[in-house]
Amino acid sequence: MPKLIDLTGRQFEYLSVIGRSKDKGNGRKPVTKWDCLCRCGKIITVKSDSLLSGHTVSCGCRKIKHGYANKERLYQTWKKHEAALHESE
């Protein structure tokens, strides 16, 4: 049994964790879910894993590609790429 990490009050980008959800999923293995308030005002239920891995950072109003946790660096890379393109023109 994995130790329960209390995420209440934690902030994950757009989501603030309000508290533990009663929803334990439909599978045989119960999952820990959390009620989260999105910045846009919507309340959604998110699994611990999704929050901690950075997979879910909003109710869906802010899209994030799976695996791209460091958006700022990605943006910098893109900017450098853009600059390089212009230089070679």
Q: Which is nearer to Zn ion, 61 or 74 (CB)?
A: 61
User: Backbone phi, then psi, for 70, in 5-degree steps?
Assistant: -95, 85
Sequence-ordered list of residues with C-beta below 8 angstroms from that of 21, at least 6 positions apart, any chain: 33, 34, 35, 45
58-77 footprint of Zn ion as x/- string (CB under 5 A): xx-x----------------
Binding mask 31-60 for Zn ion (x = CB under 5 A): -------x-x-x---------------xx-
CB 83 within 8 A of CB 67: no
Binding residues for Zn ion, per CB under 5 A?
A: 38, 40, 42, 58-59, 61
